[in-house]
Amino acid sequence: MNQASRLPLSGITVVSLEQAIAAPLASRHLADWGARVIKIERPGKGDFCRDYDYVMNGMSSQFAWTNRSKESLALDVKSSEGKRVFEALLPHADVFLQNLAPGAAKRLGLDGATLVERFPRLIACDISGYGSGGPYSEKKAYDLLVQCEAGFLSVNGTDEQPAKCGIAVVDTATGMYIVNGVLMALFNRERTGKGMAFEVSLFDSMAEWMSYPALLHRGRRRAATPHRHASRDHRALRAVSVRRRARDLLRHSERARMDSALRASAGRCGAGKRPALLHQSASHGKS
């Protein structure tokens, strides 16, 4: 028995019509745990993340991060030939993921609800910016936009200068919720024999992450206490510590300069005269 056959998801086939980060990251995690993942890309250029950079031996670092351990298939699902190949894949799939533009999957008959009706044991996940049915359901989204809309920037950086996260935190959160949903659906299928369709959106994922600071802010407003957040408290404490250290160093430096000046003045004035610098310092201290 080889190592792949001992992994928890060995024997599971995932077909993923994907690009960018959220869906590829999710399917890569499934591949890491033994699933066979067939990544469907656009003919020609493929996933646009292939061109983000070329630092990994000519390959994009982001593409390498989210697409290891997969098979890749260039397929135009709108063409007659592409549809034929895709239809041949679906009966063998346990999981189907797609993050096409809003409305595109439904127009092609590739949305989760339609596919599960045709293939009752299939687990199908639709990934979008804002989910279906809401006022933004037809809008596209991307990581930084959702960071702003969900309020993430308000708890990162400072009040004067909010800051985005240094990584694609929204896409990463969404990818992990996709994995979570797929694993629960697979477990449910083991008990019931039935697949299911479900949705994961970028905005919902980040709204869940922001629940804690939202509840904290709401609770503290009710209690009439100042709004503070853990990350800012730590920064404030570090800033106070730095200021205290700088103040102590300044005092030590000033004291050393004063002692040196006093010794030099005493040498010039002689033992019987009061050094002028000491007199000035004492007078300044009384004012």
Active site amino acids: 171
Instruction: Name the amino acid, one letter, at 275.
Output: P
Helix axes 169-192, 202-209, angle to 10 degrees: 100
- Parallel, antiparallel, or unpaired for β 13-17 and 36-41? parallel
The burial class, CB within 10 Å (0-12 / 13-18 / 19+), for 210 is middle
Rounded-to-integer distance, Cα 126 and Cα 228, Å = 37
Strand partners, 37: 14
Asked whether the beta carbons of 140 and 102 are under 8 A apart, the reply is yes
Q: Report residue 248 CA to chain centroid gap.
A: 40
Both structure tokens of 266: 């005493």
Strand partners, 73: 40
- Parallel, antiparallel, or unpaired for β 123-128 and 196-201? parallel
Helix (H, G, I), strand (E, B) or coil at 255: helix
Contacts of 127 (CB under 8 A, 6+ apart): 22, 23, 26, 97, 98, 99, 174, 178, 199, 200, 201
Helix (H, G, I), strand (E, B) or coil at 248: helix
Q: Which residue matches tokens 């045709």?
A: 118
Among the listed residues 64, 11, 25, the one whose alpha carbon sits nearest the alpha carbon of residue 200: 25
